[in-house]
């Protein structure tokens, strides 16, 4: 995401400056048919609100991060017609070492979105885990399971086609089908490999909308099989270090 040649694009949201540039400069002028945001960082609930914590934020002072409400307001205010927000923000449920005792992110997300349902356009927000759950990572794919399945869907994975209450096999992946694929496959993986439930949840405002065309050859097994050699090579390099 970027604005002009003289301002570098935001390749990721690794710093506080990146986050504030996103909400103050980029989102207000993104006039696209469809906007897709993937946010992977800690989110912490405190008595004063919930905050997104970039890499350069002190976890002992979460108020120095970006208020979740401000981020969601910027997304809802964006002139983009359709907005898909993927939030992998549940890596830590609680950590008494830094004073985190529970992390009820869902409550804060629901309150923010439901406060302005008529102003958000077509918006689908998918969060990686429900309250009291953890967003797990996989050594096999070298990333979070939520992120891996989301990537599969955004590449047009055929196993997502037709999922969900309103899903239909029509060669297009809609936001609701992406949400259903994540909820089903992340929950199955977490129960099988971690013996703990991680079930993403989603909130939809407005109409459902298409995200990607379906690749009939891209199944979940083939998608993950292609990534295993790269993951093994990464593990080998880390071991050599």
CB atoms within 10 A of CB 212: 18
pLDDT tier at 113, thresholds 50, 70, 90: confident
For the chain, the average pLDDT equals 82
Per the DSSP assignment, residues forming a β-bridge with 40 are 88
40-49, 172-181, 190-199, 218-227: which range is least confident on average? 40-49
Q: What is the pLDDT of residue 121?
A: 85
On the 0-12 / 13-18 / 19+ scale of CB atoms within 10 A, 58 is: exposed
- Take residue 204 and report the two structure tokens written for it: 């939809």
pLDDT tens-digit readout, 7-65: 545 556 678 888 888 899 989 988 888 899 999 888 887 777 788 888 888 877 888 88
């Amino acid at each position: 995401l970027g604005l002009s040649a003289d301002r570098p694009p935001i390749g990721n949201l690794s710093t506080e400056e990146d986050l504030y540039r996103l909400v103050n400069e980029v989102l207000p002028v993104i006039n696209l048919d469809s906007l897709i945001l993937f946010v992977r960082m800690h989110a912490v609930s405190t008595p004063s609100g919930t905050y997104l914590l970039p890499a350069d934020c002190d976890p002992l002072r979460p108020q120095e991060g970006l208020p979740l409400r401000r981020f969601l307001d910027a997304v809802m205010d964006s002139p983009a017609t359709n907005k898909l927000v993927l939030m992998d923000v549940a890596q830590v449920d609680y950590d008494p070492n830094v004073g985190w005792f529970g992390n009820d992110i869902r409550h804060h997300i629901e309150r923010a979105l439901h406060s302005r349902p008529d102003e958000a356009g077509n918006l689908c927000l998918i969060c990686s885990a429900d309250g009291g759950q953890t967003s797990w990572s996989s050594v096999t794919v070298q990333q979070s399971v939520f992120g891996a399945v989301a990537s599969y869907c955004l590449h047009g994975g055929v196993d997502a086609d037709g999922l969900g209450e309103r899903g239909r096999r029509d060669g297009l992946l809609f936001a609701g089908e992406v949400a259903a694929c994540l909820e089903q496959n992340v929950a199955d993986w977490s129960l099988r490999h971690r013996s703990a439930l991680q079930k993403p949840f989603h909130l939809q405002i407005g109409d459902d909308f298409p995200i990607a065309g379906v690749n009939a050859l891209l199944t979940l097994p083939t998608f993950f099989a292609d990534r295993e050699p790269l993951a093994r090579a990464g593990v080998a390099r880390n071991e050599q270090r």
